[in-house]
Amino acid sequence: MLNGSEETKRPQEFGSYEEMQLIAEACREEPQRRNRNVFDAIMETGHDEDFVPVVTDEFCPTDAPAGSPAKVQVLAERVRKGLPLWHPEDRVSYSGLTGSAIRARD
CA distance 17 to 9: 7
Which pLDDT value is given to residue 10?
44
pLDDT digits (tens, 9 = 90+) for 28-50: 665 555 557 777 777 776 777 76
* Residue 47, number of CB atoms within 10 A of its CB: 10
Q: Residue 3 and residue 12: Cα distance in Å, rounded?
A: 19
Q: What is the pLDDT of residues 52-97, one digit of tens each?
A: 888 999 999 999 998 889 999 999 999 888 899 999 999 988 888 8
pTM, two decimals, is 0.49
The DSSP letter of residue 30 is: S
Judged against a pLDDT cut of 50, whether residue 99 lies above it is answered with yes
pLDDT reported for residue 31? 57
pLDDT recorded at residue 74: 94
